Amino acid sequence: GEDVEQSLFLSVREGDSSVINCTYTDSSSTYLYWYKQEPGAGLQLLTYIFSNMDMKQDQRLTVLLNKKDKHLSLRIADTQTGDSAIYFCAESIQDTDKLIFGTGTRLQVFP
């Protein structure tokens, strides 16, 4: 079946790096995504990675994909208080157009 899991909470000090992890079960994923949700707001697409890649970097964001272990991570360098939000990983399944979301990781950045 399709299942995406994330740890629920992460707390980091401002200026440190944050690493948010995600595991998924469906090996036919085509794209894997990271979304950010601030309180009371919709979802903002941060970055995505194609399933045949193992790394993607975009400014402060680095995505690592271990397809063998079905493990995805998002690293945020120099974390700021404005990065405090819930982060969702999601996978798109081959031949469908729906996204399967994880439960979200609440990132709290303290001074």
Partner 1 sequence: NAGVMQNPRHLVRRRGQEARLRCSPMKGHSHVYWYRQLPEEGLKFMVYLQKENIIDESGMPKERFSAEFPKEGPSILRIQQVVRGDSAAYFCASSPGAQAEAFFGQGTRLTVV
Q: How far is the CB of 111 from partner 1 (least distance, A)?
A: 26
Size of the site for partner 1 (CB under 8 A): 22
Q: Which of 15, 27, 41, 71 binds partner 1 (CB under 8 A)?
A: 41
Contacts of 56 (CB under 8 A, 6+ apart): 47, 48, 49, 62, 63
The Cα-based distances of 89 to 3, 13, 28, 104 in angstroms read 11, 22, 16, 7
The Cα-based distances of 77 to 14, 59, 72, 91, 105 in angstroms read 10, 9, 16, 23, 17
Binders of partner 1 among 73-102, rule CB under 8 A?
Answer: 88, 90, 92, 96-102
- Assess 17 for contact with partner 1 (CB under 8 A): no
Q: Which of 34, 74, 104, 109 binds partner 1 (CB under 8 A)?
A: 104
Q: How far is the CB of 71 from partner 1 (least distance, A)?
A: 18
8 A C-beta contact, residue 106 and residue 43: no
Q: Which of 45, 54, 71, 80 binds partner 1 (CB under 8 A)?
A: 45
Instruction: Give the interface with partner 1 as residue ranges (CB under 8 A).
Output: 4, 30-31, 35, 41-45, 48, 88, 90, 92, 96-104
